[in-house]
Structure 1
């Protein structure tokens, strides 16, 4: 039997991010460029 997974909501300011359960994966980036542009990002 599969364990029930719960979802957590993290919020700051006007932003909310769902974590866990069936929520999509969220990635935070610290670059100001398009991460697909490897030369500009490096």
Structure 2
């Protein structure tokens, strides 16, 4: 299931579907940001 930037999917590592860049969220309240590398907004959970 893809996650969009702005959602709060919970703690974990998320992988950009555009370039593969990983993003770690440390808190359940953290919103998922857009990818820093390619500005994509779709991620999958690692």
TM-score band (shorter)?
A: under 0.3
**TM-score (structure 1 length as normaliser):** 0.24
- Structure 1 or 2: larger strand share? 2
Higher relative contact order (CA 8 A, sep 6+): 2
TM-score, structure 2 normalization: 0.23
Which of the two has higher C-alpha Rg?
Answer: 1
